[in-house]
Structure 1
Amino acid sequence: MLIREFKKGVKELFAKLESFIDEVFGFGEKVGDHALTPAEKRVKDKLEAREKRLKEKKSGIFRRRFGKVSKSIMKKEMPKDFLNALKEFGKTEDDILDYYTKYHNENDFIFF
């Protein structure tokens, strides 16, 4: 167990050392972007975006289907049973739709 912890610490140390050397001597992906042509940069950005979407999909984070949501879209997309259940707690339909519209538009989370 002690050896395993030591290996983990050594890996972190070498990763930090490698990033420092890359920064000082100009190696690595972070520094090498200035030599890319616009077409190469677009391809690289597209590949990075694809990798990010794949990572989000594997981790359970989903992308937004809508940019900004209005109350009418929220009313259409929200399940009717859920809306009726919230109404039973004493809230009006407008209050519920306003809350979830604001929640959707102001956060990076999605409601539906």
Structure 2
Amino acid sequence: MAGFGALGKAGIDAGPWVSNGVPLALFVLAYQLGLRYSKKPWTYTAKLDRQLANYAPINSEAYRQLQERTKRVGSLESEFVLDWLEQERYAIELAARGRKPETKGLGFLDKKI
């Protein structure tokens, strides 16, 4: 007599549909609850969206263009992000050129050869 836990001990035949279906249903339920209540993004687009929302851009105009292009198309396209990233890297490079490089605390500078 096939049984499922306490049902089998009670002499009730649960059958293969119950013994295989219940664990599967519990897995699906746990997965759905995890998706619903998790704080982590479940897609790369969601993760990128969260990172962009928390980022303070150097080139504000390029950031606004990324926002406008994304609104117009209705999705965050990799082409748009790569274009913005190129402009942002250039702006960071320009901003860094004006600063003197920090050499304080670099141990290799004190090494005598």
Give yes or no for TM over 0.5.
no
Name the TM-score class by shorter chain.
under 0.3
TM-score (norm 2): 0.27
Largest Rg, 1 or 2:
2
Asked which structure has the greater RCO (Cα within 8 Å, sep 6+), the reply is 1
